[in-house]
């Protein structure tokens, strides 16, 4: 028994030190070298932090681009999806309510033209990005409210579109918070 117990205890101690001390310390050092120093990449306007680059926010005012709905109320402490299946009656009602709301605020848009991401929450419930198509479908509403030219807003969306990595890995995205900050600066 002693033959197996002592090596087992030694291995346990080595793994505790490795996994509970060395590994977390290494990850913390790597995080300190990243943008934001391990505290997340903040977005500031006039020296005031207005949000985080990788956490979605709610924009309910029609003069702003609206992001993806959140199943968790945009609370990063409790991120997660709704966990309801695509045929769940409650889920389908929620999506239909979002479609109806979108159509009220964006008259003239056909139901079939609404990108799914504008009426369905992401898996984390915190996705800060939209596709360029989902952003551009909102241009007409924002242009009318802000008395701006639609071409100007389309160009703004294009300027804030991040292309796929190496031109082929992933999809084009637009960070909604950064786009809305740029929108406010258009005045």
Q: Is 55 in the same domain as 142?
A: yes
Helices 150-159 and 139-146: crossing angle, nearest 10°?
A: 120
pTM to 2 decimals? 0.78
Handedness of CA 138, 142, 145, 151 (dihedral sign): negative
Q: Is 88 in the same domain as 2?
A: no
Q: Is 180 in the same domain as 96?
A: yes
Tell me which residue range forms the domain holding 142. Answer: 42-184
pLDDT at 155: 95
pLDDT at 178: 93
pLDDT at 82: 73
Q: Is 73 in the same domain as 109?
A: yes
List C-alpha distances in Å: 151 to 77, 86, 154, 175.
Answer: 38, 37, 5, 19
pLDDT at 22: 94
Q: Is 93 in the same domain as 22?
A: no
Q: Is 103 in the same domain as 28?
A: no
Q: Is 61 in the same domain as 93?
A: yes
Q: Burial, 84: exposed, middle or buried (Cβ in 10 Å; 0-12, 13-18, 19+)? A: middle
Please list the residues that pair with 49 across neighbouring strands: 44
Q: How many alpha carbons fall within 13 Å on the CB side of residue 29?
A: 6
pLDDT at 102: 93
DSSP string over 69-85: --TTTT-GGG-------
Q: Which residues of the chain have pLDDT under 70?
A: 187
> Rounded CA gap, 157 and 115, in Å?
16
Task: Quote the number of domains for the chain.
Answer: 2
Q: Is 14 in the same domain as 92?
A: no
Strands (E), the chain: 42-45, 48-52, 129-130, 161-162, 173-175
């Amino acid at each position: 028994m002693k033959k197996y117990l002592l090596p087992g205890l030694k291995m346990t101690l080595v793994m505790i030190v490795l996994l509970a001390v060395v590994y977390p310390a290494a990850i913390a050092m790597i995080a300190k070298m990243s943008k934001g120093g391990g505290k997340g990449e903040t977005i500031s306007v006039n020296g005031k932090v207005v949000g985080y680059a990788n956490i979605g926010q709610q924009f309910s005012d029609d003069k702003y681009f609206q992001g993806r709905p959140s199943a968790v109320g945009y609370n990063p402490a409790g991120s997660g999806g709704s966990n309801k299946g695509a045929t769940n009656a409650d889920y389908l009602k929620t999506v239909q309510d979002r479609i109806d709301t979108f159509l009220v605020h964006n008259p003239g848009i056909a139901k079939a033209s609404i990108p799914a991401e504008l009426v369905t929450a992401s898996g984390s419930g915190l996705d800060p990005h939209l596709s360029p198509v989902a952003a551009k479908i909102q241009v007409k509403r924002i242009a009318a409210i802000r008395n701006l030219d639609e071409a100007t807003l389309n160009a703004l969306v294009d300027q804030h579109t991040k292309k796929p990595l190496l031109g082929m890995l992933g999809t084009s995205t637009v960070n909604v918070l950064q786009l809305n900050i740029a929108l406010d600066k258009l005045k």
